[in-house]
Amino acid sequence: MKTQALRWILAGGLLVSSQLIAEPLKDLQVRLASLHNDQPTRIKVDVEVEHRGSAPLHLNKDRKRGRAVIDYGPRGVRMIENRWMGRSSRFSFWSSAKNDPETEAPMLDAVEALDLVDPARTMETLLDGATLLSDEIATWQEQPARLLVIRLGPLAASAKDEPLDLQAKIWLDENGVPLALERSTDFRLGRALSATGLQSFTFQQVDGRLLVDRAQESSSGTALAVLRSRDSKKMKVTAVR
């Protein structure tokens, strides 16, 4: 009788453990709900972008930097400043004309600004419909961390044969607070078209609010094996008191 009871206890313990292991994404969603930035916030964002494109008889390179100042409150984000400040290099075989800074697209749009000032909300959206691929002990900047690897979106449970693969890695501290996020995109349509992208974010806490600290994006693509492009964008976020 005691042996049977012990088996039941062990079986119950294993069941509870397996349920805990199977629910890390739900646990993270609960943790993120407590990390939303619902306080008035002002941030300064220093931005640097670089573009390189090539085609037959054509090459262009461009690098520029700028700054944005963003207010965030009950009505959402408001751009106080959002402008390019200078171009360190620009070169093109096809045209020597410089782009007019007044007509260039702004560095940040409202969606990007919200991602920087309230990353917990963005991560919740990423987790919607995601599938956990692995949950393991890791390190992040030489400190112990927990690493979740997930496949994102409606294709999360699909096979590897899909042309679009979206994955993310999330590093958490001992309290389940996100330390960093890395999101990758891989799209391939035979040899005719391919595109890859990588976004990485590190986070900071300011007065109990979760903000992005640094963000970096890179993307590259090839079309018809002769048209190639590579773009990168770096952002540093500073809370303004």
Q: Is residue 16 part of a domain?
A: no
Q: Is residue 20 part of a domain?
A: no
* Token pair belonging to 206: 């300011």
Q: Is residue 4 part of a domain?
A: no
* Count of CB atoms situated within 10 Å of the CB of 219: 15
User: Phi and psi of 24, rounded to 5°?
Assistant: -65, -30
Residues in the chain with pLDDT values less than 50: 1-22, 56-57, 96-97, 101-103, 156-159, 226
Q: Could you tell me the residue range of the domain that residue 116 belongs to?
A: 25-239
Q: Which long-range contacts (CB under 8 A, 24 or more apart) does 122-130 make?
A: 123/28, 123/32, 123/170, 123/178, 123/181, 124/29, 124/32, 124/33, 126/150, 126/152, 126/168, 126/183, 127/25, 127/28, 127/29, 127/32, 129/153, 129/154, 129/156, 130/25, 130/156, 130/168
CATH of the domain at 159: 2.30.230
Run of H or E including 32: helix 24-33
Q: Is residue 66 part of a domain?
A: yes
Q: Is residue 106 part of a domain?
A: yes
Residue pair 151/131 in contact (Cβ under 8 Å)? The answer is yes
Q: Is 111 left (phi over 0), alpha (psi -120 to 50) or beta?
A: alpha
| pLDDT in the model for residue 170 | 97
| pLDDT in the model for residue 14 | 35
CA 56 to chain centre: 33
Q: Is residue 9 part of a domain?
A: no
Domain count of the fold of the chain: 1
Question: Which pTM does this prediction carry?
Answer: 0.75
Residue pair 178/147 in contact (Cβ under 8 Å)? The answer is no
| pLDDT in the model for residue 158 | 47
The 10 Å CB-count burial string (b at 16+, else e) for 171-193 is: bbeeeebbbbbbbebeeeeeeee
Q: Is residue 17 part of a domain?
A: no
DSSP-based three-state secondary structure for 228? strand
Q: Is residue 1 part of a domain?
A: no
* Token pair belonging to 24: 């890390």
Residue pair 65/86 in contact (Cβ under 8 Å)? The answer is yes
Residue pair 3/95 in contact (Cβ under 8 Å)? The answer is no
